[in-house]
Amino acid sequence: MTETTKIIAGDALLTMDAGNRVIADGAVLIEAGRIAAVGTLAELTVAHPTVAVHKTADTVLMPGLVNAHAHSGFLRGTAEHLPVWDWLTLHINPMHRMLQPHEAEAASWLCYAESLLSGTTTVVDMWRYMEGSAKVAEAIGSRLVAVPYVGEHPDYDYFDTLDMNEALIESWHRKADGRVNVWVGLEHLFYADEAGQRRAIDMAKKHKTGFHTHCSEAEIEVAEFLKRFGKRPMFALEELGFFETPLAMIAHGVWIDPSEIEMISTYNVSVAHNPVSNMKLASGIALVDDMIKAGVAVGIGTDGEKENNNFDMFEEMKVASLLGKLKDRDAAAMDSWQVLRMATILGAKAIGLDHEIGSLEVGKRADIIAVRCDTPRMTPFFADGPYFNLQHNLVHAVRGSDVAMTMVDGKVLVEDGVLKTADIKVIIAEIHRVAPGLFARRADWLAQNRGGTMQWTKA
């Protein structure tokens, strides 16, 4: 499937447009990487009789998924059953202290490959040494929002700096045919001193980029914000000027309360909801439905491989739905359509790209996936009629391994479940080669610093 102009078709097409339109025997006309027409296969072949047709049998076509918050890495299964503070001080921060650029790049190869294989076409990745990550996205073909892990404080000198962040913006923002975008990042507000906070805001304004940080993930943060600023976290961020940036996205937002939701809804502020991570680290349950009802764009993120432990956005959708139901003790809460929108068009809005991706509509980028519908998990499958169940099966039954095809900008990156732009065996072998060295350096550092890293500076 290499033609620049082509028609792709499936047994059903899920547009995720404003009406969540589903087209039985649907098809998309692609020209130069963009969607030129959407309709039934019969309609498109009549209108464009000379264009080659590629029909993937027994599949549903839908927009590529948007992972609104992730971290590259390869600590999977090595930092388990710990509360978030021990997890950070004994495993995660010491890893960042020891990480080397070639290891960071290898991690991005692994995570972007896993994402494409499971139907995620866009990843918001907060990671280190992200020139390597940008090169990976360019080579493997995925869409990337690169957000450097920044610590702009003398006590957090083992993260990237704002100088590194700005250099990445200047060299990679909107590169790789527009597939790579670079934002300003802070690991956490407390990881920057006052000068660093001001500069982060000014950088996002200067370069007209988004700003992304973790906030309100753990309950303890609220008390610390009240101690330092006399305000809850979102009000403190507002006062400091972070919501004056073109787009501010908060990762987690578990402890954002109704007053904060009302306030952030008046700004261009979005939230990345990470249900699996929030459960695994026992962080709490975010008020997702309240945010969406207030008009806040909420996307879904996997978080990192170490706190998930995978990049399967289909699994993340299921957990998001179930967690919302449990929170409200309401089986109708977080319904399938709402969750699908969070993983596609609403997630695209959360990262400021809903004009380009997130739905299958004319003029948008051809970021499309094909999900198999001939599996036990998708059976029975009804794309129309009185027993229509497509949305429920996609959210509650499908797994990333059911993705047969992944396309970005009209280019097929995964076909028949096989990654076409890289050798997955080589990627995995490289992780096995470099991981022991990182783990050994971290162990040596921890042996000399038994308390681990310091978490949070004194006010």
Rounded to 5°, angle at Cα 342 from 340 and 343:
65
H-only helix segments in 154-193: 162-172
Phi/psi of residue 340, nearest 5 degrees? -60, -40
Is the separation of the CB atoms in 23 and 39 below 8 Å? yes
Q: Which residue has the tokens 């957000």?
A: 147
Question: Count of CB atoms within 10 A of residue 50's CB?
Answer: 6
Is the separation of the CB atoms in 208 and 187 below 8 Å? no
Question: Count of CB atoms within 10 A of residue 355's CB?
Answer: 11
Question: In this predicted structure, what is the pLDDT of residue 94?
Answer: 94
DSSP of 260-282, one letter per residue?
A: HHHHHTTTTEEEEE-HHHHHHTT
Question: In this predicted structure, what is the pLDDT of residue 82?
Answer: 84
Mean pLDDT across 330-356: 97
pLDDT, tens digit (0-9, with 9 covering 90-100), for 319-334: 999 999 999 999 999 9
Mean pLDDT across 28-49: 98
Distance from C-alpha of 254 to C-alpha of 429, rounded to nearest angstrom: 37
Whether residue 41 is predicted with pLDDT greater than 70 in this model: the reply is yes
Question: In this predicted structure, what is the pLDDT of residue 9?
Answer: 98
DSSP 266: T
Question: In this predicted structure, what is the pLDDT of residue 311?
Answer: 98
Distance from C-alpha of 326 to C-alpha of 345, rounded to nearest angstrom: 25
Mean pLDDT across 275-279: 97
- Element housing 415 (H / E): strand 411-415
Q: Which residue has the tokens 């960071």?
A: 104
Distance from C-alpha of 340 to C-alpha of 104, rounded to nearest angstrom: 31
DSSP 89: I
Question: In this predicted structure, what is the pLDDT of residue 332?
Answer: 95
Q: How far from the centroid of its chain's Cα atoms is residue 68's Cα?
A: 3
Whether residue 1 is predicted with pLDDT greater than 60 in this model: the reply is no
3-state SS, residue 330:
coil
Is the separation of the CB atoms in 439 and 156 below 8 Å? no
Question: In this predicted structure, what is the pLDDT of residue 284?
Answer: 96
Least confident of 2-6, 27-31, 147-151: 2-6
Whether residue 232 is predicted with pLDDT greater than 70 in this model: the reply is yes
Question: Count of CB atoms within 10 A of residue 251's CB?
Answer: 28
> Of how many residues is the chain composed?
459
Model's pTM, two decimal places?
0.97
Distance from C-alpha of 391 to C-alpha of 342, rounded to nearest angstrom: 13
Residue 290: partners with Cβ closer than 8 Å, 6 or more residues away: 258, 261
Question: In this predicted structure, what is the pLDDT of residue 86?
Answer: 84
pLDDT, tens digit (0-9, with 9 covering 90-100), for 421-451: 999 999 999 999 999 999 999 999 999 998 8
Structural tokens at position 109: 């190869």
> Domains in the chain, ordered, with CATH?
6-63+360-419 (2.30.40.10), 65-351 (3.20.20.140)
pLDDT, tens digit (0-9, with 9 covering 90-100), for 82-138: 877 788 888 899 999 999 999 999 999 999 999 999 999 999 999 999 999 999 999
DSSP 160: B
Structural tokens at position 420: 């076409």
DSSP 164: H
Which of 458, 397, 455, 435 lies closest to 87, judged by CA? Answer: 455
Whether residue 3 is predicted with pLDDT greater than 70 in this model: the reply is no
Q: Rounded to the nearest 10 degrees, how much is the dihedral formed by the CA atoms of 225, 243, 245, 189? A: 10
Whether residue 404 is predicted with pLDDT greater than 80 in this model: the reply is yes
Number of helices and strands in the chain (H, E): 17, 21
Question: In this predicted structure, what is the pLDDT of residue 459?
Answer: 46
Question: In this predicted structure, what is the pLDDT of residue 457?
Answer: 64
Mean pLDDT across 385-389: 95
